[in-house]
Structure 1
């Protein structure tokens, strides 16, 4: 008998009063339909009509008595709350479910707060704007980097002299140079700004800039990358299938593109970064046949040793080592002595 009493007492600790939980949801202890004087089968138009009639009648501005104004305010808020719940089809469906199944209180809490704290703006619109902003920033950054590189290259003597020579051959610089060629004869001297613009245009036309400063392209912005993502996946699968069939099954020799792919994979760089490497370093990589894993590991060890030697010969590195041997940075202690 005592065991049954303990069991009932234990279970009573987990029993939740349904009314106390539901009381804080929707219209509280009131029925939203009864508040608006409509039935559960009422149409949306009937609900709107009933709410407007009650709102006009019980608007706080309709009375000048202070006590009545407070009552009208409470009623007006209750009517507005009921109207907000019943005018939305999804919220009304959840409310009807609560009326029919009051014992499913956890489910009712979830649906109520899901509607209450759900974003008011369509997530698709937010994503569209966000992706568009990121894409615009990416393209602007590409454009800025590219023309920063062009402006710098025009100041490099090697490229500037080449650009000036091309401009003279095409007769674009007028007679600034003092030459009396047929192309320049009769042309007016151009301003410094015009000359700079011509040289920049020639540099842009004749130099192929690689890496992060290459010519801007919309295919490198987020919008296009997302749109073309399935196509890139298809190309990647096709490439791997071709690689496996050609080099693992048929045992063909690697071509230059395949060798560069392996080099980039071992060095953990992309194709653009590889192409940006100095010609001397690229030549060394090909001379060592770094696309072969064993050769790559040997080449990597050599590079690490070279780096250590350079560091050991560096005056700043030597000073740092002496500094660390002498105790490094001072330590703070809380010794009372």
Structure 2
């Protein structure tokens, strides 16, 4: 009968015999392969970074394929470059020295070596800066494109075009009498440019098609975020002090803010509303939450009544009661 530890003893013997062979077979993929990187450059392990660079330059000039026509020159040049890349970096050199001193850590260094080789060489901070810059540029150009689309559309609307033409003529921006040597196409282009200029200066375009501002760009927002955060804290503290502690009445701006919050609108959405509509909301006292909820319920009931009286909606409800899209007829 074999002793109790015979299995572990046999496994240890196999590892002792075959592990060095396995490592030698696999070490070719790491650093300088089976050769010592220090020996490849002809230096000692105590060599400085300057001495490593000097040795590399001398050997690179000697074995460069353009200058050395030997059959193995390219292979030697590649090995020299690999040795230099391994030893010039302090972190890589420390890992390589650890491999030389502790061959049993081969698998650990195998992972770290290829992680370093595959990992991007660019600083993550640079990647973040470039990404934010690209997003900001695309964002800004996109806003300008939408704004120009809005101006071009308004030029085609008859009532805006007629009014803009009158203003352009009053300001002397359009004068078809003095044609000179200009072609009809040139006169038309000048007229369109003048109309766009008038509409751009006279119209108050709001919402998603409003004129872009640098302060809305992502980069600027991130830079100014601490400042705006501090302003918000100050504003919130002042609000609580004035209206929660001292119980002061709301002013016009405060009422508008409360109404925007009740409606759940963003600043852009709220600014796109007509001033007359905001005034009607003020008269109804919709800044008070209780009044707003009652008004909203009334609006919903009124909408239900309108839909109930709408013939199209009646036909739709009748169709849904009869099965809607899942209904099967004899023709089916």
TM interval, short-chain normalised: 0.7 to 0.9
Task: Give the CA deviation at 1:323.
Answer: 3.9
Provide the C-alpha distance between the structure 1 equivalents of 2:254 and 2:106, rounded to a whole number of angstroms.
Answer: 63
**SS of 1:228 mapped into structure 2:** helix
Aligned-residue RMSD, C-alpha: 4.0
Task: Give the CA deviation at 1:163.
Answer: 2.6
The answer on 1:135 being equivalent to 2:140 is no
Q: Deviations over 1:31-63 (max 9, x none)?
A: 322343321111234324444565645969754
The answer on 1:212 being equivalent to 2:216 is no
The residue aligned with 2:178 is 188
- Contact in 2 for aligned 1:18/1:105 (Cα 8 Å): no
Decide which structure has greater helix share.
2
The answer on 1:44 being equivalent to 2:40 is no
| Structure 2 segments unaligned to the other structure (5+ residues) | 181-186, 328-332
Given the superposition, is the C-alpha separation of residues 281 and 35 from structure 1 closer, same or farther in structure 2, using an over 3 Å criterion?
same
1:17-28 matches, within 5 Å, as 23=27, 25-28=30-33
The residue aligned with 1:325 is 321
1:153-192 matches, within 5 Å, as 153-174=154-175, 188=178, 191-192=187-188
Task: Give the structure-1-normalised TM-score.
Answer: 0.73
Q: Deviations over 1:279-319 (max 9, x none)?
A: 56434422332222222222222333344344445555444
Task: Give the structure-2-normalised TM-score.
Answer: 0.74
**Relative to structure 2, which stretch is displaced further, 251-260 or 116-125?**
116-125
Provide the C-alpha distance between the structure 2 equivalents of 1:232 and 1:18, rounded to a whole number of angstroms.
Answer: 63
The residue aligned with 2:183 is none
- Contact in 1 for aligned 2:255/2:282 (Cα 8 Å): no
- Contact in 1 for aligned 2:154/2:199 (Cα 8 Å): yes
| Structure 1 segments unaligned to the other structure (5+ residues) | 177-186, 332-337
Given the superposition, is the C-alpha separation of residues 34 and 302 from structure 1 closer, same or farther in structure 2, using an over 3 Å criterion?
farther
The answer on 1:269 being equivalent to 2:270 is no
